[in-house]
Structure 1
Amino acid sequence: MSPRRGGPVLAGAGVLVVGYVLLPGGRAELVGYAVLVWCSALVLLHAVATSPALRAWRPLVATQLLFALGESVSVAQRWDGRVAFPTSADALFLLAQVLLFVSVLGLLPAPRGGVRGGALLDTVVVTTSTALLFVVYTVLPAFAGQGHLAARLVAAAYPLCDVAVVFLLVRVTGWRSSRPRAFWLLAAGLSASVAADVTFAVLTAVGQDGAPRWVRVLWLVFYGCVAAAGRDPSAAVLGHPPLERRTEPELVRLPLLAVAALLPPAALVVEHLLPKDQDHGLTLGLATLVVVALVLVRVADLLRILRGQAVVVARQAGTDPLTGLSNRRAWNAEVDHVFTRAGGDPRLPLTVAIVDLDHFKAYNDTHGHEGGDDFLVAVARAWQRALPGVFLARWGGEEFTLLLPGLDADAAVAVLRAVHEAVPHGQTCSIGVATWDRSEVPPAVLARADAALYWAKRTGRDRTVVAGDHDGAGVDVLPPTG
């Protein structure tokens, strides 16, 4: 059997819709409309019946068959001139709307791991804004209208069903998983359905009886798009939870939030400019307050996320990507802080040390760059365990720096013996130490420690050298105890 194709089905549906538009009015147009609805439902039925992979589409097939049956009943009633509202066709349509919500919810499940709180709040904001307008302009007028209770309940139920469809559409707008073509066809059909329902409700509110042909065309677009989606090769992808990518920004729904916040006040402005029989100013004002409050909650949530991301970025900017230690940027910031604090307390000594791994180039040449990187990571972890609480940074390459506030040179040397002993894989290190004389700038202290390190390397390595006052000549040569 040849693979299904949604494109030809959509093209064929377009040709049939054009033919429907060219039909003469009256009974011919009613029959043509019902035939096209049945054709769309049967095309979807055939696609699902012949493909076990489309098991998730079965509820939608039942939905389309219910819609087709309802359209047939409606045509028969209009044929006989029986158009009293509500009719048995309305019962079929409302049942189909409920089943449509359930079936689309199954075809577009939440991503694995669930929906983010922010995405759910976005959906609530947009759906609430839309629902409030539906309530103001369709639901409340339907309840307040003429006729018996059943008629008013049915009239109010239709816009609520459209709100449910809006919820389905908004719910998936911010998911960043890949979108198959069947998804877009299904979304286009649902959008056309909502547009047709809203237009029909507005026309009914202004006193027009029945739906004009162009509104029926929108409903035919809905039926055709659903049939084309079921026939598309990507239809089998729907019904399975997508894998959500978590690295995308959280602002993908910002335009929708803006529209949601502006809808109630925009409706209030339009209502003020146009002649009207009823004044919904108070209701729309309350709706605006509700929507703006929800948007502010979402903005606060976005600010919380941005603050968290800023903390992560700042942490990453100050972290060496290989070893996970602080990098030179973080070292400079910590030095400024610690030297400032030590400058306010004359009794507080301050010592810095530079550590260099001996013969690292030879180790790197022997074990390869990956082996050398692994060794640097092992060294960093070993020194962190040996010196808990000491500020340790990777200065560059195989050089590391330590900040030792509260320790003079002798106490620092005693502590640094643990650095020598913790070097793994039988390797060694050399260390240069300098204590702040309280008059020099921090870079000068580090320069003296570097000079002491150079002296340690020249005099045999695997040792700690303490710098002199300013010359860095290395007044003490202290081999590690072993």
Structure 2
Amino acid sequence: MSAPRPRTDLLFAGVLVLLVPGYLLLPAGHPEELGYVAVVGACTLVLLVVAAASPARRPWLPLGAALTAFCAAEVEVAHLSWTGGRLTPSPADVLFLLGQGLQFLAVLRLLPAPRGGLRRGPLLDVVLVTTSVGLLFVVYTVLPALGGPGDGLLTRLVAAAYPVSDVAVVFLLARASGWRSDRPAALWWLTGGLLASVVADVTVAVLTAAGDTDPPRGVRLLWLVFYVCVAAAGCSPSATALGRRPAAPPPSATLVRMPLLAAAALLPPVVTVADHVVPGAGDHGLALGFVSLVVVALVLLRVGDLLRIARGQAAVVERLADTDPLTGLPNRRAWDAQVARSFVAAHASGAAVAVAIVDLDRFKAFNDAHGHDGGDALLVAAASAWREALPGAFLARWGGEEFTVLLVGASAEEAAVRLHAVHAAVPHGQTCSIGVAQWDGSEVPPAALARADRALYRAKADGRDRTVVDRGRGVHPAVPVAG
């Protein structure tokens, strides 16, 4: 018996619980910076070692490379802080942005598109979320950073680059939520870490645009959460579930996607209101109006897509409700509806209508001899053969071994002639008996079928393997079809 696997998810959850008070209790200055760099380095090392040690976790190596670039950038930031150097723009920014690019490629590999490509519905979801959140990032982080009171154009460009990379992260997360029906723990860890980094980067961009280039401790704590969560994702037992191309999910909304789409749709109008209500929020009416128009158009497209799916699913349900699951023929419900429509149309046009009941002879004996599977196979084969033998007729399974036939435009005698083909098509050497009745022009459908059933019993009593016609005042037996 193998030893139980360590609960690495719980281990890293404990690390996160201890990290918050531990980091906040560190004295400001060198102890805080050393503790921060130590956690970043440890997380990077853990992810690299785990990914390199297991072939199943090799897809996580590019993300380990991204963390390595981030770790080198954090070391450079600590060095600049200790020596009084300029924090931005600096070589650390180059390493951070390099890490952002590597991170995008790594997550793209860990969360590949489903087999068969991205369906229209999930694609609209991704575009909706990315457009709503992305353009708001541009309005509230990129544009202020470019026009902020920085030391120069390079400083402003660097400050604007971080939220742009975060838009790519939002795209990846929206993309993953659009098709993954499974939610492994590794995906939750990775999502939590990426969201923490997005919040931290946006906060820094806003502060930098306001002239504050020294991020507060709370922002650095969010970055630590990012590193720990990414390391936890790579070490999670479910990490091997990522990196494989998933099957395409059914085209439906999920509990995860619906709140996400609702938030994305409401975000632009909410912020537009805030622009006019909150003092000092800014004036971005034109940009937000454009965002709102784009989002509304995407929502309308998505609603149309969902309506199309709903109509298709309703048609499938209706078809299943009217279909016999064994033979694929119309069932009794579909028969009742079709006969009622045909009788109404025949009453208006004066056309003749005949109904018939077809019964497999000695089916119980066949079923006992060949088992239920053999009996089912006979029913399926008979249904298929009779469907081909009666083009233009409405053939349904009435129940058990009984089938019903509706022939519009045929008298009882004409129907009996056409039904000779049914006798000839009975599979597996079996025979059938048939009762036929012609609608009298006024009786309800069950009455006509009852007369056909009476004729069927006469056919059974006369020796089976024959067709009997009911004429209303009695029955007229046809000659046996086979010797």
TMscore range, shorter length: over 0.9
State the Cα distance separating 1:189 from its structure 2 match. Answer: 0.9
Match of 1:479 in 2: 480
SS at match of 1:113: coil
Question: What does the per-residue CA deviation read over 1:29-73, in whole Å, with 9 as the maximum and x for residues that have no partner?
Answer: 222212221111111122123223221111011100100000111
Matches of 1:342 and 1:190, distance apart in 2: 69
Matches of 1:79 and 1:389, distance apart in 2: 90
Query: Is 1:339 matched with 2:343?
Result: yes
Match of 2:304 in 1: 300
**Alignment partner of 1:273 out of 271, 274, 277:** 277
Question: What does the per-residue CA deviation read over 1:321-366, in whole Å, with 9 as the maximum and x for residues that have no partner?
Answer: 00000001111111122111111112x1111111111111111111
Contact preservation (8 Å) 2:465, 2:482: no
**Alignment partner of 1:218 out of 217, 222, 243:** 222
Match of 1:233 in 2: 237
Contact preservation (8 Å) 1:7, 1:232: no
Match of 2:252 in 1: 249
> Alpha carbons of 1:178 and 1:257: their partners in 2 closer, same or farther (altered >3 Å)?
closer
Question: What does the per-residue CA deviation read over 1:256-288, in whole Å, with 9 as the maximum and x for residues that have no partner?
Answer: 211111000101112222112631122211211
Contact preservation (8 Å) 2:77, 2:87: no
Matches of 1:235 and 1:439, distance apart in 2: 71
Q: How does 1:144-163 map to 2 (within 5 A)?
A: 144-146=147-149, 147-163=151-167
Question: What does the per-residue CA deviation read over 1:401-439, in whole Å, with 9 as the maximum and x for residues that have no partner?
Answer: 001001111211110000011001111111111111112
**Alignment partner of 1:325 out of 309, 326, 329:** 329
Match of 1:49 in 2: 52
Match of 1:263 in 2: 267
Matches of 1:82 and 1:318, distance apart in 2: 78
Query: Is 1:74 matched with 2:39?
Result: no
Contact preservation (8 Å) 1:451, 1:467: yes
Matches of 2:439 and 2:96, distance apart in 1: 84
State the Cα distance separating 1:2 from its structure 2 match. Answer: 9.8
State the Cα distance separating 1:289 from its structure 2 match. Answer: 1.0
Gaps of 5+ in 2: none
Question: What does the per-residue CA deviation read over 1:286-314, in whole Å, with 9 as the maximum and x for residues that have no partner?
Answer: 21111011011011011111111111111
Match of 1:141 in 2: 144
Paired amino acid for 1:475: H
Question: What does the per-residue CA deviation read over 1:374-421, in whole Å, with 9 as the maximum and x for residues that have no partner?
Answer: 110000001011112211000000110001001111211110000011
State the Cα distance separating 1:13 from its structure 2 match. Answer: 5.4
Query: Is 1:439 matched with 2:412?
Result: no
SS at match of 1:401: strand
Matches of 1:68 and 1:229, distance apart in 2: 18
Contact preservation (8 Å) 1:6, 1:230: no
Matches of 1:88 and 1:417, distance apart in 2: 91
Matches of 2:442 and 2:242, distance apart in 1: 71
Match of 2:105 in 1: 102
Matches of 1:429 and 1:323, distance apart in 2: 17
**Alignment partner of 1:363 out of 348, 361, 366:** 366
> Alpha carbons of 1:277 and 1:369: their partners in 2 closer, same or farther (altered >3 Å)?
closer
SS at match of 1:431: strand
Paired amino acid for 1:476: P
Matches of 1:169 and 1:41, distance apart in 2: 22
Match of 1:314 in 2: 318
Contact preservation (8 Å) 1:63, 1:99: yes
Contact preservation (8 Å) 1:10, 1:224: no
**Alignment partner of 2:295 out of 280, 291, 297:** 291
Matches of 1:169 and 1:7, distance apart in 2: 23
State the Cα distance separating 1:367 from its structure 2 match. Answer: 0.8
Paired amino acid for 1:70: A
Match of 1:354 in 2: 357
Paired amino acid for 1:259: A
SS at match of 2:437: strand
Contact preservation (8 Å) 1:16, 1:36: no
Query: Is 1:373 matched with 2:401?
Result: no
Contact preservation (8 Å) 2:148, 2:209: no
State the Cα distance separating 1:207 from its structure 2 match. Answer: 4.5
Match of 1:111 in 2: 114
Match of 2:463 in 1: 460
Contact preservation (8 Å) 2:80, 2:87: no
Of the structure 1 ranges 102-111 and 47-56, higher mean CA displacement relative to structure 2 is found in 47-56
Matches of 1:84 and 1:28, distance apart in 2: 19
Contact preservation (8 Å) 2:274, 2:281: no
Of the structure 1 ranges 300-309 and 106-115, higher mean CA displacement relative to structure 2 is found in 106-115
SS at match of 1:32: helix
Matches of 1:13 and 1:454, distance apart in 2: 79
TM-score for the superposition, normalised by structure 2: 0.94
Match of 1:128 in 2: 131
State the Cα distance separating 1:245 from its structure 2 match. Answer: 4.6
Matches of 1:140 and 1:69, distance apart in 2: 29
Question: What does the per-residue CA deviation read over 1:160-192, in whole Å, with 9 as the maximum and x for residues that have no partner?
Answer: 111111111111224353332222211111111
SS at match of 1:475: strand
Matches of 1:268 and 1:157, distance apart in 2: 24
**Alignment partner of 1:384 out of 383, 387, 409:** 387
Match of 1:419 in 2: 422
TM-score for the superposition, normalised by structure 1: 0.94
Matches of 1:53 and 1:199, distance apart in 2: 36
State the Cα distance separating 1:105 from its structure 2 match. Answer: 1.0
State the Cα distance separating 1:151 from its structure 2 match. Answer: 2.4
State the Cα distance separating 1:84 from its structure 2 match. Answer: 5.2
Paired amino acid for 1:474: V
Large movers: runs of 4+ above 4 Å:
1-4
Of the structure 1 ranges 392-401 and 38-47, higher mean CA displacement relative to structure 2 is found in 38-47
Of the structure 1 ranges 233-242 and 126-135, higher mean CA displacement relative to structure 2 is found in 233-242
Match of 2:170 in 1: 166
Query: Is 1:183 matched with 2:184?
Result: no
Of the structure 1 ranges 29-38 and 158-167, higher mean CA displacement relative to structure 2 is found in 29-38
SS at match of 2:475: coil
Gaps of 5+ in 1: none
